[in-house]
Amino acid sequence: MSQFEYLRRQMIDTQLSARGLHDETVLNAVAAVPREDFVPAELVEFAYNDSPLPIGASQTISQPYIVALMTAALNLQAGDRVLEVGTGSGYAAAVLAEIAAEVYTVERHKILADSARNKLADLGYKNIQVLYGDGTLGWPDHAPFDAIIVAAGGPEVPETLKQQLAIGGRLVIPVGTSLQTQKLLRVRRITEQEYIEEDMGSVRFVPLIGAAGWEDETATAVAAENSEASLPELIFKSSEHFASIDQVNLDKLLARIGDSRLVLLGEASHGTAEFYEMRSRITRELIEKKGFTVVAVEADWPDAAHLDHYIHGTAPDPMLESTPFSRFPTWMWANTSVLEFIDWLRAHNEKVRSTENKVGFYGLDLYSLSTSIEAVLSYLDTVDLETAEVARVRYGCLTPWANDPALYGRMARTKEYQTCEAGVLATLQDLMKKRLDYSIANCKQFFDAKQNARLIANAERYYRTLYYAENNSWNQRDQHMFETLQSVMKFRGSQSKAVIWAHNSHIGDARATEMSARGEFNVGELVRKKYGDAAYIIGFGTDHGTVAAASEWGGPMEIKQVQPAHIDSYERIFHGVNTDNFLLPLRYPLQEITRQKLLQERLQRAIGVIYRPEAELQSHYFYASLPHQFDEYIWFDETRAVEPVTRKTTEGTLDTFPFGV
């Protein structure tokens, strides 16, 4: 039995049979169809997850259980002729074709219709015909049908489809006045004029667009129940609105943060100015009003150390040749929003007399393999020449791969090159054995060297993990970031308080996202497990605007237009709130009805240093439950790209070395 066959059988047992679906004909049909062939290549490992998946054209392949449930509701017989409205990937049509004699399926997106037609032909399905057209009008040339199944939610049952049912035929369709209030109906045609409707429970589908459905995607967003306030209206009442970052009053937010020792500040992209500027504003108030002394960010340790020297008015190691913030993506930290914040930190520290109360700036990430090696060797050269020579030999194992450590991971995995694990671990152990001797002279310099040595060891393992099918490099990275945070807080003392700046995907609790189903955790989950309510996690989001990002890894920075949010996303809901900017408390004092409506998993957008608007649904959306993910959410409806630091930008500043310009 192959891996996918095993997952398919497990899916049938745990998702279908366990929920009471025991129709053997349907179960056998599902067992016969390779769902992995109907999802995008990058999502194939999730083919049998208990959830819908994006497939392109802002559409999804339905949850396996829903496909099986709707198929079972049709009560199909071997000789039946079936009409499907909404072909999508073609998966449901294949399941239907395993039972029925003929399947006719209509798809309004040409790219999906063509793709499904080719896929079904490749898999040998000769009893399926695919039409590109308006599915709400059915397929009159082949009517009447013994069964009709509609894979999208309409405002009502289309009369055109009812008329194409044979006497005794069954029609299964989601119906509702909005995406949040759909119910699954089964309609039976008794006579020419008589139909019986049966409510089969609540469901949630993409909108049924067409002449007999919704006019367009925006129609469902504005449709609201007359009996109660819409979710955007509830969010408006529950949130704190503000006109600008400079004018926002953060007193209530600080009260909600209370005595938390850690505050995690996210971002929905690495290239949005408002996210950096709002994090800066919140961090400044946490420093001034609540005594926070640690700023830990999703940046490499050596680069952040340059900023730390700058804000303390000290000089970096003159032996280091590497230029800080010169590695892709330079704009992520070398931008004017960060520069302004760093200048504020420097001015703040100049006013603080006590060394322990000065703010430190620390990097949590592990991509700086080459620079960290350089830093450790430079340190050892000043304190222990003999150990420095031994370390130089050990680190020499990694030297050929300094500029491309991912290549080292591949070579080590294929056994074409020896692994360097033992040597880098031994150097870290040597440092720890002599920590008392080394730290007597300068404990901060020793701490910096130790963190760089730990980074080298973890980075070596991380790059090998990239090529281990059974391991997870994401977990290696976030575990390193969490351990680095712990080391910094221990170094700064038992009363230290830290602000963490990182992407939403790192600081939002992974257990509330589809990451958890892949066996992935993140910094937010690890922090919550250790600190509980003493950690306060804040996510950020936007609907549209501009963003600084590349089209591929290592590519040039571009200013790109952020596409308006997907209709099935949290972002689309927040875009519907009647205010541009707001803070939404999710832990308390959020109204229970608002919280309950937000708990339902929805798509959430994540833009990193790469942004591909043309493939946004596949590349930048994932499912999450917002109130379980964050304690607070900050919304900017329209945002702008960060402005990279240039020589012109820094003219007249005290010192430009932190940004290497």
Q: What is the pLDDT of residue 410?
A: 64
Q: Which two tokens stand for residue 138?
A: 């059915």
CB-facing half-sphere around the CA of 292: CA atoms within 13 A? 27
Convert the pLDDT of each residue in 156-199 to its tens digit.
899 999 999 999 999 999 998 765 568 889 999 999 999 999 99
Q: Which two tokens stand for residue 432?
A: 């720890």
Q: What is the pLDDT of residue 67?
A: 95
Q: Which two tokens stand for residue 545?
A: 């605007």
Catalytic site residue 62? yes
CB-facing half-sphere around the CA of 329: CA atoms within 13 A? 25
Whether omega for the bond prior to residue 144 falls within 30 degrees of 0, making it cis, is yes
What's the rounded Cα separation, in Å, for the pair 261 and 263? 7
Strands 535-549 and 262-265 turn out to be parallel
Query: Which positions ≥6 away from 441 have C-beta within 8 Å?
Result: 383
Query: Which positions ≥6 away from 404 have C-beta within 8 Å?
Result: none
DSSP 349-391: HHH---GGGS-EEEEEE---HHHHHHHHHHHHHHH-HHHHHHH
Query: Which positions ≥6 away from 231 have C-beta within 8 Å?
Result: 180, 573, 576, 594, 597, 598
DSSP 553-579: TTPPPEEEEEPPPPTTBHHHHHHTSSS
Question: Could you tell me if 524 and 507 are in contact, meaning their C-beta atoms sit under 8 angstroms apart?
Answer: yes
Strands 165-175 and 182-189 turn out to be antiparallel
Q: Whose CA is closest to 633, among 538, 544, 542?
A: 538
Question: Could you tell me if 46 and 519 are in contact, meaning their C-beta atoms sit under 8 angstroms apart?
Answer: no
What's the rounded Cα separation, in Å, for the pair 505 and 502? 8
pTM: 0.66
Question: Could you tell me if 81 and 104 are in contact, meaning their C-beta atoms sit under 8 angstroms apart?
Answer: yes
Q: What is the pLDDT of residue 37?
A: 95
Rg (CA), the chain: 28
Instruction: Please give the DSSP secondary-structure letter assigned to residue 316.
Output: P
Report CA dihedral (242, 244, 246, 248) to the nearest 10 degrees.
10
Instruction: Please give the DSSP secondary-structure letter assigned to residue 585.
Output: E
Catalytic position from the list 51, 62, 230, 269: 62
Count Cβ atoms below 10 Å from residue 303 Cβ, excluding itself.
26
Q: Which stretches in the chain have pLDDT values below 70? A: 178-181, 206, 212-228, 318-322, 402-403, 406, 408-418, 467-471, 589, 647-661
CA 106 vs. chain centroid, Å, equals 32
